[in-house]
Chains A and B, each alone.
Chain A
Amino acid sequence: MELSEVLTAKLKEMLKPVNGFHMNSSITCLRIMQAVLEIKKDNDIVIVSKGHSAPAFYVMLWKLGLLTDDELMTFAHIDGLPSHVARGLPFIEVSSGSLGQGLSVANGIALANRIDGKEGRIFVILGDGELDEGQIWEAAMTSAHHKLDNVIAIVDRNFHQLTGGTEEILAKEPLAEKWKAFGWEVREVENDVEKLKKVIMELEKVKGKPKVIIARWVE
């Protein structure tokens, strides 16, 4: 079995007792998380703004040996793994669960790093449905205005949100043009670990503006 198949199988096993809690959102987010965690350096920070993809994140921690099989199965138990990512978990700097807030936090960390002359990228994983939240666009303006080129947003473009297709609930397209108009460097790529890693590397060369990768789910 390919690694992605192993991870997906693990995710399904983990979510079986909880009726597949946000299964689809987690499956499409798995490869984005894998790419980010494989590329992450010590001083990089990862913010899971779409906190309901927590199961995918836990599966990645399991793959990295940071969670055991038993721990994975404690998902959403009172004293087990929280249903949405929470501060205190490995790599998690800020609790999530309420959509639209992660990009602002990323900007704050980037601004603090700038004051301190510290290096490090801040990856923010966003849902495409999450882009309905106005705060995302407030934050997008802040990142661009302050030229926060260490902020890298990755949109899980799976075309689904809670009650239907993204274009049917609230149209996002033309999405790339929107980010561009907000002053961001934009890349559109398939939701694939190696392709995502390659784009992240390429974007290192772009200076003076924040970057967003729209990771399209094609399966």
Chain B
Amino acid sequence: MIESFREAFGRALVEIGRENERVVVIDADVKGSTRTVYFEKAFPKRFIQVGISEQDMIGTAAGLAIAGKIPVASAFASFLMRAWEQIRNTVARDNLNVKIVSTHSGFSDHMDGSSHQCLEDIALMRVLPNMRVVVPADAYATRVLLKQIIEIEGPVYMRLGRDYAPRVYNDGEEIVLGRANVLREGEDILLVATGIMVSVALQVADKLREAGISAGVIDVHTIKPFDEDTLLKLAKRVNTVVTLEEHTIYGGLGGAVAEILSEKMPKRVIRIGTTEFGRSSRDYISLLDRYGLTADKVYDKIAGVV
């Protein structure tokens, strides 16, 4: 079953808004694309439009948080990054309770090309003190984790793709912010994935099993703070750890895993992700294929090195 990240986000926001009157949503003129338009329709007084100005949006969110609101500032991941310095100096430095939810991350805005495809945001957000970084694997995880990030105090960056969200979880399954989910146990190799690559990791694990290789799979939906215990516990059994992300291999999930393992449990780490800017494509899956992020391509890469 394939659902939509942004649909899940937009609908969950309305549910959350009904329960929590402190939630205010801010938009930089992309409400239709991010689906925060649902929140605007339900709670027009708690929806703030600042126009195409992501930097101003982040500052305005900071003010709302200072005054006791729980602002959710949402826009395309690429263009939220132009407010990185505002996020650093105004939000993270003061540890303000601002929730930044990016949509259209990774290659998911396939049609719009490299300007709109954000492959660096995990790295940029992960380096900021106080900032939590959350990347749900599917629509269900988006809903569950969004509720949790609203409940906690402090800044959070939540990264969503556009529509393509193959189901990883069944309704009711437990997903706890800050705790990686072990989806498969394995003895030969460990696949550590985030976002849509969790679903790919599960497919790859199936293919590896057919080839007689036992692969573990963990979903790191919270990249920061990183659940080191779960990683180390699972990595202990294997010789090779493979990271999978729809993001550059520099400084994202792969970077985080490499940092932890090199310091605490040296292992071979193979990072699967991108090293280039994206390109326009009429079709998302062909784009993932071009950059080596489909199950077949990932399997071939692993089979070639293990």
Contact = CB atoms under 8 A, between A and B. Distances in A.
B94 A109 contact: no
Contacts of A142: 50-51, 53, 56, 60
B67 interface: yes
B18 to A, nearest CB: 16
B97 to A, nearest CB: 12
Contacts of A102: 59
Interface in A119-178: 134-135, 138-139, 141-142, 145-146
Interface residues of B, number: 31
Interface in B289-305: none
B45 A87 contact: no
Give the interface SS of chain A, mostly helix, strand, loop or mixed: helix
Contacts of A134: 55
A183 interface: no
A94 B46 CA distance: 22
A112 B89 contact: no
A115 interface: yes
B69 A135 contact: no
B94 A87 contact: yes
A115 B69 contact: yes
A116 B68 CA distance: 10
A125 to B, nearest CB: 15
Interface string B88-101: 01100110100000
A111 B48 CA distance: 8
A76 interface: no
A26 interface: no
Contact of A95 (B24, B63, B89): B89
A184 B243 CA distance: 52
Interface string B71-99: 10000000000000110011001101000
A98 B24 contact: no
A133 B85 CA distance: 13
Interface string B15-55: 00000000010000000000000000000011011110101
Interface in A71-110: 86-87, 93-95, 97-98, 101-110
Interface residues of A, number: 30
A94 B68 contact: no
Contacts of B64: 108-109, 111-112
A115 B46 CA distance: 7
A138 B86 contact: no
A95 B93 contact: yes
Contacts of B59: 101-105, 107-108, 135, 139
A141 B51 contact: yes
B131 to A, nearest CB: 15
Given A94-B90, A105-B63, A112 B56 contact: no
B111 interface: no
A134 B190 CA distance: 47
A112 B50 contact: no
Contacts of B63: 94, 104-112
A142 B93 CA distance: 24
A24 interface: no
A105 B24 contact: no
A112 B24 contact: yes
A97 B86 CA distance: 11
A36 B61 CA distance: 24
Nearest to B90: A101
A46 to B, nearest CB: 12
A199 B81 CA distance: 40
A113 interface: yes
A164 to B, nearest CB: 24
Nearest to B60: A108
Given A87-B94, A94-B66, A139-B56, A108 B61 contact: yes
B90 A105 contact: yes
B46 A138 contact: no
B189 interface: no
Contacts of A139: 56, 59-60
Residue among B49, B55, B59, B68 with the most chain A CB within 10 A? B59
B56 A104 contact: yes
Contacts of A86: 94
A16 B304 CA distance: 66
Interface of A: 86-87, 93-95, 97-98, 101-113, 115-116, 134-135, 138-139, 141-142, 145-146
Q: What are the nearest 4 A-B pairs in CB distance?
A: A108-B63, A104-B59, A112-B67, A138-B56
